[in-house]
Amino acid sequence: MLEDFKVRFLKLNFRIKFMESGELPQYKVSAIRGGIGEMLLRQNCIYERDCEACSFKDECLVQRIYYHPLKIVPEFVKDKSNMGYLYECRDFRTNIQKSDILRFSMLLLGDVIVHAPHILNAIQKFGEIGFGKNKIKFILDKVENNGREAVFDKNVINNRMFAPQSLNDYINSRLSRNYAKKIQVCFMTPWTQKYKGKFIKQFDGDAFVESVYRRVYLANCMEGNEISSYYNMSKNIEVSDQEVKHREISRFSSTHNCKIDLKGLIGKFTLSNVPKEFMPYIYAGELLHIGKNTSMGFGQYKVI
């Protein structure tokens, strides 16, 4: 069964230091994602940013990072994939003082990992332009990989620390805990999930199972791995109790030039009747996130 988790990943943990005081957005992932994307475009685009008309889009570095194509494309995938990366930031401060530190993470999957040095360079350029609408300047202070080894420190990049791990490595570290048929899941960022044609308004066991399976399946599609166990397991997992809150987050989309409200569920719930063979999928979902808007940090949960 662990054949389903031969997916390469690299998690980079960033620490940036602000060079001036000012106001930042409460939800920072959108600004981080947009800022890094803008710097990548400035450094690499040679066709006036008209991606659809560009004859080089299949080889474009920005497209390969932010919209890396799946090597296997399932019938249900209708849009461009953004499976190759996601951001995490749970610092919700809005007032920043000079010398304050902000931490965030970026998960890279599959072939996108090879572009990690370009991403580091883009973050450094992002710091020169500034964070958010108030353009708060910062410097890249330190970057560590998932093993807490320094990838970047004191302006020195150690390329050997970009070596990827596999989902199997992460899952095996989590499976060392004792197995229990009843577990508690805590969503730290909004889970936005459509199930049976409607967005869910409370935590649902079947929706959770489907979302976890789909995310693992798409990660394998990106790597070009053929797997056969998608949806083959029993769906008897139930939510026995829950504490749910509805969360709405506003972000500005430079693509659509307007503000967009994103909605989802946060909180915790208890899953009952969890088969042992499903636990690797649950732990994989911790790392990959699930549901919609995962590239912007949505769908992050932890088994507690």
Q: Residue 110 — pLDDT band, cuts 50, 70, 90?
A: very high
Of all helices (H) and strands (E), which one includes residue 129? Answer: helix 116-129
Q: Residue 187 — pLDDT band, cuts 50, 70, 90?
A: very high
**CB contact at 8 A, 21 and 112:** no
Domain range 167-303, CATH architecture: 2-Layer Sandwich (3.30)
The rounded distance, in Å, linking the Cα atoms of 196 and 263 is 18
Residue 228 predicted with pLDDT over 70 = no
Distances in Å between the Cα of 204 and the Cα atoms of 66, 247, 256, 260, 271 are 30, 17, 32, 26, 9
Q: Residue 133 — pLDDT band, cuts 50, 70, 90?
A: confident
User: CB neighbours of 74 closer than 8 A, spacing ≥ 6?
Assistant: 217, 218, 221
Residue 177 predicted with pLDDT over 80 = no
Looking at the chain, which residues constitute the CATH 3.30.70.1900 domain(s)? 167-303
Q: Residue 231 — pLDDT band, cuts 50, 70, 90?
A: low
Per-residue pLDDT, 78: 80
The rounded distance, in Å, linking the Cα atoms of 14 and 103 is 6
Residue 169 predicted with pLDDT over 90 = yes
Residue 81 predicted with pLDDT over 80 = no
Query: Is the whole model's pTM more than 0.85, yes or no?
Result: yes
pLDDT above 70 coverage of the chain, percent: 94
Least confidently predicted of 24-33, 41-50, 106-115, 134-143: 41-50
Residue 58 predicted with pLDDT over 90 = no
Per-residue pLDDT, 51: 82
| Secondary structure of residue 257 in the 3-state scheme | coil
Placement of tokens 């959770």 in the chain: 208
* Average pLDDT of span 114-139: 95
Residue 250 predicted with pLDDT over 80 = no
Task: Report which DSSP code applies to 84.
Answer: T
